[in-house]
Chain A
Amino acid sequence: MTESINADPGRDPIPSARSVDTPEGYTETPLWDPYEALMGPIFDKRIKGEDGEDELWMAFRVDDRHLNMRKVVHGGMMASFADATLGTVAWNAVDRAPCVTLSMQMNFLKGPRDGDLVECRPRLTRKTRSILFVGGEFYVGSDLVLTATSLWKVIGK
């Protein structure tokens, strides 16, 4: 098991609102935003992909807090997880300088259900001095459930 991409030995993370079993191969992601702890836990892992490239994966396990009235994951929850995962990539790409979301575009292909493990493969597409382009695909098993693209601003740059 690898160390979380969000690890920071210098401070204590905000405890997640619920305790959830860590999926195999993942480690629990330390969370620094109260809102993410409300939704959390979130998990991440860094693996070598088939092409030998380093891949980051992040995941959350769906429970009753995340569902809408049709008993699938609320669009707002998928957006929240996308903001957390794509933001993690942006933040770590600029040595954890403060970043804010400028825009996010999402296509919802399928609604995950209670108990599903939603996994995200976020990628940094381009990085300028002040702007980051980050995209991601989200899966339940091999089913694509969400695609997202986003722009991030590095504060003060």
Chain B
Amino acid sequence: MSDIPEGYAPVWNEGFNAYVGPFYGMPREDGSVHFILDLREEHLNGGEVAHGGLMMAFADAALGTAVSLAVDGAPTATMTLNTDFVSSAGKGTRIEAEAEVTRATRSVVFVAGRVYVGEKTLMTASGIWKVLGAK
């Protein structure tokens, strides 16, 4: 991607994230995170808008990063993810995501967020993550 704003870095840039992304993210002072991704041809479906799977993967990356920050980087895994597909976006669009932890307990973390372009919401997402190794 060109024109990445200052302060953003590729997040967990190995394997899937590196292959599909990179997903650029930045933590905010309030503990939430902000992500950006410029949509490429390979992100699209046959209708030439972002594939539902890509949208969920982007949301999972943003929500998972907010979770990770809330537990000081302890290993975590998605247990449940709920997504509503509100609208769509096409090639060349810079889509954004933000995610914020609702509640963190010792062993599970509740998180919610959305994917959007400017004022337009594309997806709302919520989930519960497990803190691995914590009982």
Contact = CB atoms under 8 A, between A and B. Distances in A.
Contact of B15 (A69, A98, A100, A101): A69
B58 to A, nearest CB: 7
Nearest to B75: A70
Contact-size category for A:
35 or more
A32 B42 CA distance: 12
Nearest to A37: B42
Interface string A29-70: 000111111110000000000000000000000001111111
Contacts, number: 122
A76 B77 contact: no
Contacts of B14: 67-69
Nearest to B51: A35
A75 B15 contact: no
Interface in A64-112: 64-77, 79-84, 87, 98, 100-108, 111
Contacts of B43: 34-35, 38
Interface of A: 32-39, 64-77, 79-84, 87, 98, 100-108, 111
